[in-house]
Amino acid sequence: MRVLDSHLHLWRPDLLEYTWLEGPLAFEFAALELEHARIEGATEVGAVFVQAECVESQFLDEVRWVTGLAREAGVKAIVAGARLDEGASTTAHLEALAEFGLVVGVRHLLQGEHDGLAATPAFIAGVRALAAREWTFDACVRAAQLPDITALAAAVPELRVVLDHVGKPAVGTASAPLAPSAQWVSDLTALAQHPNVYCKLSGLPGEAGGDWDAAQVTPFLDAAAAAFGPERLMWGSDWPVSVIGPAEPGDPYAPADGAPTYQPTARTRWAQTVAAWATSRGHDVDAILWANAARFYGIDSAPRRGGILGWLRGDRS
């Protein structure tokens, strides 16, 4: 079974500056670490690198670094960091990004911005410049900001948008799950009315603090499928952000104090959970795990190989 990870992060704190890294995330996560987090049983794996929010002055340096290790890490496309509300500076930055052939889109991280930024004239002008290049926009927002992305999609209908992490709904934990809120479902459904908007099945393990199970996340996957249809869903690992949480059973390196730690099998577990859910619902698994992301980001893809049922059983042939 082939897997195109639509939401992968990589970083090197000794090379680039990240003001937000802390705890188990404050280490290098690059090609070697990714190799150890390979998706068990997948016959073909690729990834879309999504900017990891280094400081703004190093956005181009980040793209340069990832371009250099792309072959080793299996990166097929880059979603670069950009400020889209800075007028001439935004235009110049997009021109600089165009020098890198793997760049297919950008992300202006909105989750920490004030509500309404995406509706400002400056931001819309930047987004139109992005659309003119036929690049994509990754919308990473919190659930309350979903209407901002709906308004943006209406204002710039030629823009291809993908919603990161299903809009970051509150999901609870495996032991104390939360049902999808009516407001989130309503806002997600409204956003999905715009045909150029896709949705990433990513980030839910992170929203659960790494304490999640299939039963807990299934209602959120079902809601996303009901809103967007399986043809506009794409799987993403959100590695390594979404693989931090309680130690996995049998982890010899588990912190003695029970603090959150790196979960070595979490990337595989999330891929298999989404694949099993899609299979149970009769959705096209190859589309969700590969083809939809390849189409959205303009990545050349090979013919499908292998079968989902064999992969879920652990068949390597």
| Domains of the chain, start order | 2-313 (3.20.20.140)
Per-residue pLDDT tens for 153-196? Answer: 999 999 999 999 999 999 999 999 999 999 999 999 999 999 99
Per-residue pLDDT tens for 41-59? Answer: 999 999 999 999 999 999 9
* The three-state (H, E, C) secondary structure of the chain, written as one string: CEEEEEEECCECCCCCCCCCCCHHHCCCECHHHHHHCCCCCCCEEEEEEECCCCCHHHHHHHHHHHHHHHHHHCEEEEEEECCCCCCHHHHHHHHHHCCCCCEEEEECCCCCCCCCHHHCHHHHHHHHHHHHCCCEEEECCCHHHHHHHHHHHHHCCCCEEEEHHHHCCCCECCCCECCCCHHHHHHHHHHHCCCCEEEEECCHHHHCCCCCCHHHHHHHHHHHHHHHCHHHEEECCCECHHHEECCCCCCCCCCCCCCCEECCCHHHHHHHHHHHHHHHHCCCHHHHHHHHHHHHHCCCCCCCCCCHHHHHHCCCC
User: Which band of pLDDT confidence, cut at 50, 70 and 90, is reported for residue 311?
Assistant: very low
User: Which band of pLDDT confidence, cut at 50, 70 and 90, is reported for residue 313?
Assistant: low
Q: What is the pLDDT of residue 155?
A: 97
Q: Give the chain's mean pLDDT.
A: 95
With 80 as the cut, is the pLDDT of residue 243 above it?
yes
